[in-house]
Structure 1
Amino acid sequence: MISWDDEDKINQSGIVRKGSESLSSGQFKKCAVKLIVESESDNNELDILTELRHQNIVNLIEFGHLGNTGLETHLYMVMELCDCNLTKYMEIERDMSVTSFKFVSRQLLAGLGFIHGRNLIHGDIKPNNILVINKEIFKLSDFGISRRFRREYAHGTQTRDGVGSDGYRSPESYQSDVQLTRAADIFAFGIVLAQLISKGQHPYGPYPVDWQFSIRHSDKFPPKCSNLSIENPQKRKQLEELLTETISTKPGNRPSTRRVEEHEFFSDESVDNSRSIRQRSIRGNPQ
């Protein structure tokens, strides 16, 4: 049985609340409950979450209908409760080491690669949609505008509906009649990586009001990926080159998740193995 408090809201929109799940043992487990008016978009998110089971994707526990209110049908989705999102995490962990950066990045790559491998485009990668558990596990969430791309296209093209958030939307998403690909997710992912390793600084400047204009006119206002918190000159240069590729204005120039994983910046094994082992062994995170 699931219960929740309508006043205990987690996100700014108020559609996600803290709840509790009654277990067969008589104990209660905390969870997150998303309450929404059912629509085609919401069914899309539900369909996707029931399909995706990965330790770096938020876990759907249960779902159901609350009944009708007038002409509206309300849907609830119960998900695991995380501690915070990546925006809050970056405020806390401002001085991130290269080892920690790789630790986080590899998890995000694993989740995104899993999504792309299922012929899906997330469509709204950004810090607010990346959830954190115990500062050790990082999960992609919010699949409300995710779409499945058509298999007959070599690069997985799909329509423009659901194009993400300003500051993370790719340049091509602002063009009319443009088919989006996995590369749109890679662009947003590159922005997130740049913020992670530069104390939260956005590569297109400190003012969100300017992000859309700068991205749409990247030829005149290129992103700045030089404020990286990396002392090693070689590693800094490698990461600058990688970020430049991921935030390229040309979708065809952006690497796949596999190519990012194989980049020389990630090629060494300097990640703390004990943390990796702990991450894999945490309960309740299906592969």
Structure 2
Amino acid sequence: MESNCTSDRIIFVVKEASLLDQGSQGKQSIYQLEQEISLLSQFEHENIVRYYGTNKDETKLCIFLELAPEGSLLNLYRKHKLLEPQVSEYTRQILNGLSYLHGKHVIHRDVKCANILVFENHIVKLADFGLSKVSFISRVTISFKGSPFWTAPEVVNAVYRKNDCYGLAADIWSLGCTVLEMLTQQHPYPQYEWMQALFRIGHGELPFVPDSLSIDARDFILKCLQVNPSDWPTARQLLDHPFVKSPLHPFIGPASPRANGIRP
């Protein structure tokens, strides 16, 4: 459950989980919120949603986070078609956030437009860390978490084998799917139900990447969508890709940066 509050001129969002619900779903909600609190309280980065604190009483556990006035990237692209320069800028910021997380051995595990929030001056921030995991050896034990259409083959196959694990690079596949989502205004594998999509992902079938995208955009997405995890570039390496290093051109619309742009 989420609600918005204002205190001392700070507008924030409240996420809460009931402590009275002892069913499996209720316990999972509490666990995920505690996981989010544990991680966010350690983070300080311009592209990670800001954590303000928690409150717990006999009935509920609450976490206070900064409010994103523009909602998520999912809300944004449903209202306005995102131009490639916009997607490039948002991708650069997402990569900055992922590079920070991976430097702390944290896997987000649920990168998608719905979990990326849009703030003033067109800053975007990674949010929803309930599924995130810390791995001090850059690997985590298997668990089928995240959203099916954005899930990496390594994760799908690890779950089905029940004898393997996956690492930081799983976020890179999800990032490629997220960039594709922004540019096509739909989630990857839209022609399939989620279980069909998982089957195809597990067998190494890539989502459709339109030829209408620019050369740099297609190359960036396809570099992320490597079936072999050892072939995935790191977030830091991807920050040097031409798709995110190209100059940002002014564009008009609710999702556009101000006239002087976000970056010079």
Q: Shorter-normalised TM-score: what interval?
A: 0.7 to 0.9
Q: Is contact 1:123–1:162 with CA below 8 Å preserved after alignment?
A: no
Q: Which of 126, 132, 137 is 1:146 aligned to?
A: 132
Partner of 2:152: 170
Q: Give the whole-Å Cα distance in 1 for the aligned partners of 2:11 and 2:243.
A: 38
SS of 2:186 mapped into structure 1: coil
Q: Does 1:103 align with 2:89?
A: yes
Cα shift at 1:207: 4.3
Equivalences for residues 1-287 of structure 1 within 5 A = 15-21=1-7, 23=8, 28-37=9-18, 39-65=30-56, 67-69=57-59, 74-82=60-68, 83-94=70-81, 96-134=82-120, 136-150=122-136, 153=137, 156-161=138-143, 163-175=145-157, 176-198=162-184, 200-209=185-194, 210-218=196-204, 221-228=205-212, 230=213, 236-270=214-248, 274-276=260-262
Structure 1 counterpart of 2:112, one-letter code:
K
Change (3 A) 1:110 1:195: same
Amino acid at match of 1:56: N
Identical residues among aligned pairs (%): 25
> Aligned-pair distance for 1:271?
5.2
2:6 aligns to what SS in structure 1? strand
Aligned length: 240
Cα deviation 1:98-139 (Å, max 9, x = unaligned): 321211111111111111111111111111111112470111
**1:276 is paired with a residue of what secondary structure?**
coil
Structure 1 residues 130 and 270: CA distance shift in structure 2, 3 A = closer
Aligned equivalents of 2:163, 2:198: Cα separation in 1 = 18
Corresponding letter in the other structure for 1:224: F
Deviation at 1:211, TM superposition (A): 2.6
**What whole-Å deviation, never above 9, does each CA across 1:162-201 have from its counterpart, x for those lacking one?**
6211111111212222211111111111100011122x13
Q: Distance in 1 between matches of 2:197 and 2:89?
A: 28
**TM-score (ref. length: structure 1):** 0.76
Opposite residue 206 of structure 2, the aligned amino acid is: P
Greater RCO (CA < 8 Å, at least 6 residues apart): 2
The CA RMSD measured in Å over matched residues stands at: 2.2
Secondary structure of 1:258's counterpart equals: helix
Distance in 2 (alpha carbons) for counterparts of 1:213 and 1:116: 28
Distance in 2, matches of 1:16 and 1:211, equals: 30
Letter in 1 for 2:243: F
How far has the Cα of 1:160 moved from its partner?
Answer: 1.8
- When the two structures are superposed, what TM-score results if normalisation uses the length of structure 2? 0.82
1:101 is aligned with what amino acid?
Answer: V
AA partner of residue 117 (structure 2): L
Per residue, is there more helix in 1 or in 2? 2
Using a 3 Å threshold, how does the CA distance of structure 1 residues 134 and 93 change in structure 2: closer, same or farther? farther
> Which stretches in structure 1 are left out of the alignment for 5+ residues?
1-14, 231-235, 279-287
Q: Distance in 2 between matches of 1:113 and 1:208?
A: 32
- When Rg is computed on C-alpha atoms for both structures, the one with the higher figure is 1
8 Å Cα contact 2:107-2:133 kept in structure 1 = yes
User: What secondary structure is seen at the aligned counterpart in 2 of 1:68?
Assistant: coil
Residue 202 of structure 1 aligns to which amino acid in structure 2? Answer: H
Q: Secondary structure at the match of 1:34?
A: strand
Contact 1:20–1:29 under 8 Å retained in 2:
yes
Contact 2:113 2:182 in 1 (8 A): no
